[in-house]
A = this chain, B = another copy of it.
């Protein structure tokens, strides 16, 4: 058995030398230690003789996992006392209806900023509950920037924005100033930088980009924004249910929460979110510098709104684009193809993306330009 195990391990090792550059937009690259520890816990949790996925969610073992995940979130994001940290089911898409369900007062239509496909989806669901005030949109420019100069009605139930637009490679680099409760979809940039939560009423994020695996959604909510609507809310869609039950109203996504915890530990080991932000700025600069100097490539997002998470770029010559894509694929670059709504290329460089992989992409772009310019 042991001899066989050694042989097996050796095989895995040699396999993993076939380096993959994972630029997927989400689910996306995760830190190797998160993958290793999650895999190990599925096999045997803490040397208990039981798998993570066969213990009771009411066990002290799982409660400790959930508690630590909440505590680390509070620490890393400096979450104020009067906010709750929740792990909900359903992905960010379920939040699109939970938010108006819990917050929309019909006589005070909520305000939305339209910055891309996901913002549009959020608006669509909000319209089932009331009128919606779209305060600004960059749709006419294929969402290549974050609109400015809009004003939010003072009586809006809330103001909803998407902080990072995965498809279009844009990101809000300042928090909107508003007097109404600010609700932010941070699905693709949560934990990539510090957030001043006191300026926010609710932030939420699917976990499959910067926080682990798909199957759970983090919601951080200011407790006192609830209880101001008179519609009846199904229990599972009511934030108060999940606050009252510590995210355990029903069986939570045990594995996804465990993976989130491993990611949070890793973030802490990097030195917290200031350090993570610095890394992300440095990493993004490497690729943006290449895009700006390489004669074959150009960025699609307006410079001041460029995302540090998803970098979108195109070539003028569509045949060359296809050639570069094939070149990237054959060199083990994964997920480089741009979304069909933007075309060209997209490099998603979330927290876990190593600098070396970005440098490898830059080298490929330089070699390609040398050969094809």
Contacts and interface: CB of A to CB of B under 8 A. Distances in A.
A30 interface: yes
A337 to B, nearest CB: 10
Contacts of A78: none
Interface stretch (A178-186, A249-257, A274-282, A307-315): A249-257
Given A16-B49, A94-B236, A236-B90, A251 B26 contact: yes
A317 interface: no
Interface in A56-95: 56-57, 89-94
A9 interface: yes
A206 B35 contact: no
Number of this chain's copies in the assembly equals 2
A205 to B, nearest CB: 12
Interface residues of A, number: 74
Contacts of A42: 35, 38-39, 42
A183 to B, nearest CB: 16
Residue in A2, A13, A253 whose Cβ sees the most chain B Cβ within 10 Å: A253
A124 to B, nearest CB: 7
A353 to B, nearest CB: 11
Interface of A: 1-2, 5-6, 9-10, 12-13, 15-16, 18-20, 22, 24-30, 35-36, 38-40, 42-44, 47-51, 53-57, 89-94, 96-97, 121, 124-125, 128, 206, 208, 212-216, 232, 234-237, 249-256, 259, 334-335
